[in-house]
Structure 1
């Protein structure tokens, strides 16, 4: 965030290249340092072919995302060290290195696994036995994982549909229906859970507008119920883990 990371794999960068990278980095942070803007991306990774850090970090991660990634990396590293030092053979313990702890979210949406675009990629199915169950939904014919066209069901299943991802469709629907309400965290490569963290500024605004803690909690519960309705046939359950303060 405060200095560029220069990746020189082939060791062919010159001092002029490094100066150009540092100049571009300073320019990208100038508005923030002068208090006139915010940093869209919290990382600046520069290479010989991308001195302006445009290929990988132009739009993400944000400061919040980077902090969460760092926290996950630290917890996984600590767990890995513990497993090695204690010589544990428990398979679940080793799996946890690659699992995102669901209790790190304010609320969690569990999805029907057979409705995922690539259910075979789901290595570790998500289970949740904590928090308040707010909404529950059965997999139904309301949600069709394929386009309705003429032909038998077998023919439809054999067809390949390019770029159809119900998870991303659902995420876009949520972002459109609940702007500035919460941030969504999900595994686009085959996860069956979506984590929610409340946008703190939005909650503070509600309290300033005269809504007490009880009102905020009721509003949160109603919002999560609507979140479940938005994903009817795709959402398995919605859980509230942390009541906003």
Structure 2
């Protein structure tokens, strides 16, 4: 598979096992909507802060659920240009911040001794990456083929989730009833994975078909 654009005929980006059709479709959709948005902004001469925010942030309505993280627990909270705010959907949980770890050391919290540094200073610790690893492992083990995870690899306080589309395999009524899961309960389970780091979770769109695991 080869990805190319009209304006960049020199670079090469070959893929082997990924992305799949769902990701490719989303990439094409993002590219088209970004081009349309940029054209509209240029034609109408917009230059306010919202303009830049539109260019670097993915619209939240592209996701089925949103996981918000505590900003003070991010690896580089000062680099967060546009904090995420969710004003629609159903709030599933509201989590408290943890006091067990601090991914960065503020200047106001100067260390007094080497022993204190050994217990408090964390080198190359990015809680978002560790949470994503645990989240993907939890989805694979407990909720297989249920969610797809979307996030900004350069940092951010939000993680997007979309429901996976399953095949139309026929199941007996008794079997389906035994393994059917409430989407809200699934999201609450994911919140437990990031307890102390997850600020809140919002359900924006319920799956079109029952979640059967």
TM over 0.5: yes
Aligned pair partner of 2:164 in 199, 206, 225 = 199
Distance 1:8 1:235, change over 3 A: closer
TM-score (norm 1): 0.67
Aligned pair partner of 1:172 in 118, 128, 133 = 133
Distance 1:114 1:225, change over 3 A: same
1:24 alignment partner in structure 2 = none
Aligned pair partner of 1:238 in 197, 201, 204 = 201
Q: Quote the Cα distance in structure 1 between the aligned partners of 2:122 and 2:100.
A: 21
Distance 1:143 1:182, change over 3 A: farther
CA-CA distance at 1:232 after TM superposition:
0.6
Relative contact order (C-alpha < 8 Å, sep 6+): which is higher? Answer: 2
SS, match of residue 239 in structure 1: strand
Deviations 1:18-71 (A, max 9, x none): xxxxxxxxxxxxxxxxxxxxxxxxxxx46xxxxxx4xxx234322221221221
TM-score (norm 2): 0.76
Gaps of 5+ in 2: 105-113, 209-213
Greater helix percent: which structure? 1
1:220 alignment partner in structure 2 = 183
Q: Quote the Cα distance in structure 1 between the aligned partners of 2:187 and 2:166.
A: 18
CA-CA distance at 1:187 after TM superposition:
0.8
Q: Is 1:208 aligned to residue 171 of structure 2? A: yes
Distance 1:9 1:132, change over 3 A: closer
CA-based RMSD: 3.1
Gaps of 5+ in 1: 11-44, 47-52
Q: Quote the Cα distance in structure 1 between the aligned partners of 2:43 and 2:146.
A: 43
1:34 alignment partner in structure 2 = none
